[in-house]
Amino acid sequence: MTISYKIPKENPDYSTHSAYVIKQISAIIKDAIDSKRNLIFIYTNLRHGLPLENIHKVAGPFVEAWALEQFEDTKQSAKNPYELINVEAGKRLDAFDIVLQFRRKRSNEQYVSADVDVKATAEDIKTSGKSPNITSFARIRSAFLEDPDYIFIILSLKHKVYGERDPKTGMTNGIMEVISCAAYDLKYVSDSDLNYNPALGTGQLQIKDIHYVDLQKRTVWEFIQMIDRKFIKSNGKREWLFLAKKFGWIKVE
């Protein structure tokens, strides 16, 4: 039996497109923070307000929704200096939360799309941001094989939560404040910062610590080879071959 790998090859402009998307995403979020549009108000009828010691368990959806609204507001703005032309929310089972499309004005107009996975991390919880699940091994490998120019961005948003008493009602309401952001191209996350967890389906890729990520330029094929090594080290070559045949990653003669 002869096995031939299907080897993807990205466009020579991939790295500049990726850098452009990250620059625009970071600028949009930073502008929202700097202009004090970074507060999420959570009103309750609880006398003691939100249970702050457990708020990180529900913070993610609030922060994801806030990020989506910042991108939507930017797209709808008459100014919109970021050339953001389309914003869509991901569906429930998607590996990403938001799809963004930008226009690049160069010698000729180009359009660049990116899937964005929003990760909310709490400033005052030491373990927050440690080993978050990013996406499944088989899903992301197949996605890069299908589209070698696929851009998958991890948007890390750090937040803090505090309570404020309403003098009229006496109730304590919660305020969630987004205080900083960082954006990474999954393809460029360093080998040492990307873990493979065999739990859940075909296994999950995880970021060791989302607050401290080193980057490493590589091709899409180099990225695929790296995650293949991590999978095989954990599950063995036989299991990898089973998936490779199932998802069409190889040609068998």
Q: What are the tens digits of pLDDT across the range 36-61?
A: 999 998 887 777 777 766 677 778 88
Please report, for residues 31, 77, 106, the alpha-carbon distance to residue 17 in angstroms, rounded to integers and kept in the order given.
21, 23, 12
- Residue 128 has a pLDDT of 61
pTM, 2 dp:
0.90
Q: Which two tokens stand for residue 27?
A: 């600028």
Domain span at 167? 13-186
108 has pLDDT over 80: no
Residues in the chain: 253
- Whether 35 is covered by a domain: the verdict is yes
127 has pLDDT over 80: no
- Residue 167 has a pLDDT of 80
pLDDT band at 94 (very low <50, low <70, confident <90, very high): confident
Q: How many domains does the chain have?
A: 1
Average pLDDT over residues 3-27: 94
- Whether 199 is covered by a domain: the verdict is no
- Whether 8 is covered by a domain: the verdict is no
- Residue 190 has a pLDDT of 96
Average pLDDT over residues 20-46: 92
- Whether 209 is covered by a domain: the verdict is no
Find the range with the poorest average confidence among 20-34, 81-95, 117-131, 184-198.
117-131
Tell me the average pLDDT of the chain. Answer: 89
User: What's the CA gap between 1 and 177, in Å, rounded?
Assistant: 58
Q: Are 18 and 188 in contact (CB under 8 A)?
A: yes
Average pLDDT over residues 205-210: 91
Please report, for residues 115, 215, 229, 236, 247, the alpha-carbon distance to residue 140 in angstroms, rounded to integers and kept in the order given.
12, 18, 15, 19, 12
- Whether 4 is covered by a domain: the verdict is no
15 has pLDDT over 60: yes
- Whether 168 is covered by a domain: the verdict is yes
- Whether 22 is covered by a domain: the verdict is yes
pLDDT band at 125 (very low <50, low <70, confident <90, very high): low
DSSP 151-184: -EEEEEEEEEEEEEE-TTT-PEEEEEEEEEEEEE
- Whether 109 is covered by a domain: the verdict is yes
The maximal CA–CA distance of the chain, rounded, in angstroms, is 77
Which phi and psi angles does 135 have, rounded to 5°? -165, 165
Nearest to residue 134, comparing CAs of 113, 107, 115?
115
User: What's the CA gap between 116 and 14, in Å, rounded?
Assistant: 16
The number of angstroms, rounded, from the C-alpha of 158 to the middle of its chain's C-alpha atoms is 13
Residue with tokens 């702050």: 52
Nearest to residue 118, comparing CAs of 197, 63, 73, 167?
63
- Residue 242 has a pLDDT of 94
Nearest to residue 143, comparing CAs of 101, 186, 177, 182?
186
